[in-house]
Amino acid sequence: MSRDESLLSRLEVRNLTVAFGTNVVQRDLSFEVRAHSIFAVMGGSGCGKSTVLKAMIGLLSPATGTVLVDGEDYEAAGERRRIEIRRRFGVLSQGGALWSSMTVGENVALPLQMFTLFDASSIRALVDLKLALVGLESAAEKMPSELSGGMRKRAALARALALDPDIPFFDEPSAGLDPITSNRLDDLILELSSGLGATVVIVTHELPSLFAICDDGIFLDGETGRAIARGAPRSLRDGCGDPTVRAFMERGRRATDAARGTGS
């Protein structure tokens, strides 16, 4: 009998240390991301969450350690193979990082133009589909400056999903958004994860998002530069004995549960 697919690892981080020169951000990180999970990289501001994410997607070479994608060492792969692996990623950066000189449709089309041989009409059809998935059917001809913050995040999400990635990475997707818009974006990520069967990695310190959509994760401590806890955010909140983790997870607990309409 084959192993349950949900137990298979899509990403594996082994003894990873990330640093800028002599400044070590996080050291000796080892964890796996199971297939079809929504995995959170948690921790307070400045602990190195985004830096670890950059190492996971190949934008930053680790000081030591390896990142395996379906068992393959990303850093050890040749440049052509790394491009093939990156094509399977979808990345939503902080703030969306849309090109301000391009329309929303042109932003979403860019990955398709770079990584596929589709003709212009096929690309336009796919752009319309991705924008429809995030509720921005009428925004293709708008400039990013014409959109609200929440709409820009959704447009950036459409671009991240342009190539139908099986491993999307979201860096602070709901940061700076009002609670209603943030809730809608969380729901959209859940729907897309379920519909695409994707394995999602999300960097956030936003408690409502952590509790609403993430089923596993790792907690990074900025003071020690190490991972100090592993598990689902709600399980860490309710059962972790580490005072740093508990203090982080319990901040604004009543407000968080009230915002989601749940009990503690």
pLDDT tens, residue by residue, 73-127: 988 888 889 888 888 898 988 767 899 999 999 999 999 998 889 999 999 999 9
CATH topology of domain 9-88+166-260: Rossmann fold (3.40.50)
> In the structure encoding, which two tokens stand for residue 153, read together?
């995040």
pLDDT band at residue 3, thresholds of 50, 70 and 90? very low
Tallying the residues shown for the chain, one arrives at 264
Angle at 45 between CA 37 and CA 228, to 5 degrees: 60
**The pTM is what?**
0.85
pLDDT at 262 (0 to 100): 52
pLDDT band at residue 264, thresholds of 50, 70 and 90? very low
pLDDT at 261 (0 to 100): 57
pLDDT tens, residue by residue, 11-59: 999 999 999 999 999 999 999 999 889 999 999 888 999 999 999 999 9
CA dist 168 and 110 (Å) reads: 17
Q: Where are the domains of the chain?
A: 9-88+166-260, 99-164
